[in-house]
Amino acid sequence: MWSFVFQTPSAVQKIKELLKDKPDHVGVKVGVRTRGCNGLSYTLEYTKSKGDSDEEVVQDGVRVFIEKKAQLTLLGTEMDYVEDKLSSEFVFNNPNIKGTCGCGESFNI
């Protein structure tokens, strides 16, 4: 069983809100890309279909697809959506991270 989960209901709710205006999209895709001063950063995008190698996670009717090359990197990761007076963003709590950059935009495993 894949252990990528949402940490809070706020992440599920926000994805539902975002997809409401995109009826041709079936969910969101999570991945990692080489970027930043520390190696990797997260990607999150709308998707119209499940890729052949994607792992699918469904929670409360929300479909999240994890790209194959990111599956080991994201193993055990929790996804949250956080809002405050100045910002709102999806936050990934990844137990596999060994280090992050000072600006918080990239990490290494």
3-state secondary structure 55-108: EEEEECCEEEEECHHHCCCCCCCEEEEEECCCCEEEEEECCCCCEECCCCCCEE
User: Band of the pLDDT at 97, cuts 50, 70, 90?
Assistant: low
pLDDT tier at 1, thresholds 50, 70, 90: very low
Biggest CA-to-CA distance, the chain: 40
**How many percent of the chain have pLDDT more than 90?**
47
Tally Cβ neighbours within 10 Å of residue 25. Answer: 16
Confidence of residue 92 (pLDDT cuts 50, 70, 90): confident
Backbone φ and ψ of 70, nearest 5°: -105, -5
What is the pTM (predicted TM-score) of this model? 0.82
Tokens for 4?
């990528």
